[in-house]
Amino acid sequence: MDKFSIHQTAGVPLKLWDSHQPFEAGAMQQLRNVASLPFVFGHVAGMPDVHWGKGATVGSVIATKAAIVPAAVGVDIGCGMMAVRTSLTADRLPDGLGAVRAEIERAVPKGFESSQSANHAKGGWVVTPNSVARAWYDRFEARWRKIVARHPKVEGKTSDQLGSMGGGNHFIEICLDEEDRLWVMLHSGSRGTGNRIGTYFIDAAREAIAKERLDFHLADRDLAFLSEGSQLFDDYIEAMHFAQDYAIANRELMMGRVLDALRKHLPAFKTDKLAINCHHNYAVQETHFGERVWVTRKGAVRAGQGELGIIPGSMGTGSFIVEGLGNDESFCSCSHGAGRLMSRGEAKRRITLEQHEAAMRGIEARVDEGVLDESPAAYKDIGAVMNAQTDLVRIRHRLRQIVNVKG
């Protein structure tokens, strides 16, 4: 049974999986703004973690024909999740996990650290100076030089951030599932590279739109779009795909370093074939309702029939490994997390350190004022979010974190 509600607009309808009714006014207006674009196909799908974003809401799925909106993809292109299950179980873990967290923090650059500043391979594209590193360098260097040759303003530090976590809501976690099997899970994207690409093409789209005579009103300047068939459109797609591939590689390299860190402190273990690496900020061509369209998922995960995905809650509330049900009405998508309930500023004003400490009890993690904007109370109820999308995904595993590393 479908769980969405339909909202009519001046453009295409909205189909919303509402977990916290009503969605905030700002987010609803952004959804309506997107729905008014003449190239949007069918309807706009709002996931149950919808909240306000730049131009388009986080937690929205937008299908378009012959055009794409760079701000709807966002600036953290390819941001997503990776999870790996190991052979370890809870009964084989040490009583204290502080040394494990410290080892991970040493192994993976975080916050504003780069691979170079964290004493990793200097000048290369990866964090391990070996044959694997050479392969990554060869894979990316020529593609990047081609993009920069056409658009020099996107140039900047790129190679020394591959294999790094960043800050904000990015994280690394060690988790246990319902059988007490140990998982490694992490969240990161294309880092500064994707940010520069996204920012540059958002500005370029605004400039291009300013030169065109549109026969409709653009409700938000951040909804400036690129038209298929233009050179700028082609260049954006090429750069976006580069950033998405960069993000996948970033997560893979981070995962390798985390597993190496664990092997220094935990009993010998293997990793099994159940590994997931999925984007939740990206655009891709797909076929829906018999039409070939561009599907932009901004804070949403592809949930095709049988496809595995990851839906994290917050740093204190656990996460889910899910299997997609292939619901056409959501363009085969689901939420990418719990979704923010408070802005970062509001969270820092309202959540006390004592409240954060209570929410993180039993988890080896940072407990200081620097992470109050990521405290569990800043996010929506992940249980309500999951209940709102039982027609989109089936829960395969429920994970509870025992170690959390933030930038």
**Which among 151, 170, 280, 336 is annotated as catalytic?**
336
Residue 99 in domain = yes
> Does 371 reside within a domain?
no
CATH of the domain at 45: 3.90.1860.10
Averaged pLDDT for residues 178-191? 96
- Residue type (1 letter), 230: S
Please say whether the beta carbons of 173 and 405 come within 8 A. yes
> Tokens 């209570």 appear where?
358
Q: Among the residues of 16-66, which ranges form H helices?
A: 25-35
pTM, 2 dp: 0.92
- Domain ranges, residue 383: 5-341+379-406
Side chain identity at residue 231, one-letter code: Q
Which of 56-60, 143-147, 361-365 has the weakest average pLDDT?
143-147
Within-domain flag for 45 = yes
Over residues 208-230, the mean pLDDT reads 89
In a domain, 365, yes or no: no
Mean pLDDT of 113-137: 47
Over residues 145-176, the pLDDT tens digits come to 899 999 999 987 665 678 889 988 899 999 99
Within 10 Å of residue 179's Cβ, how many Cβ atoms? Answer: 9
Q: Would 119 be classed as within a structural domain?
A: yes
Report how far residue 393's alpha carbon sits from residue 390's, in angstroms, rounded to the nearest whole number.
6
Question: Is 363 within a domain?
Answer: no
Q: Is residue 132 included in any domain, yes or no?
A: yes
Do 404 and 171 touch, CB atoms closer than 8 A? yes
In-domain check, residue 30: yes
Mean pLDDT, rounded, for 355-366: 94
Q: 215: burial class by Cβ within 10 Å (0-12, 13-18, 19+)? A: exposed
Instruction: State how many domains the chain has.
Output: 1
CA count, 13 A, side-chain hemisphere, 51 = 15
Give the pLDDT score at 125: 36
Label residue 62 by pLDDT band (50, 70, 90): very high
Does 336 participate in catalysis according to the annotation?
yes
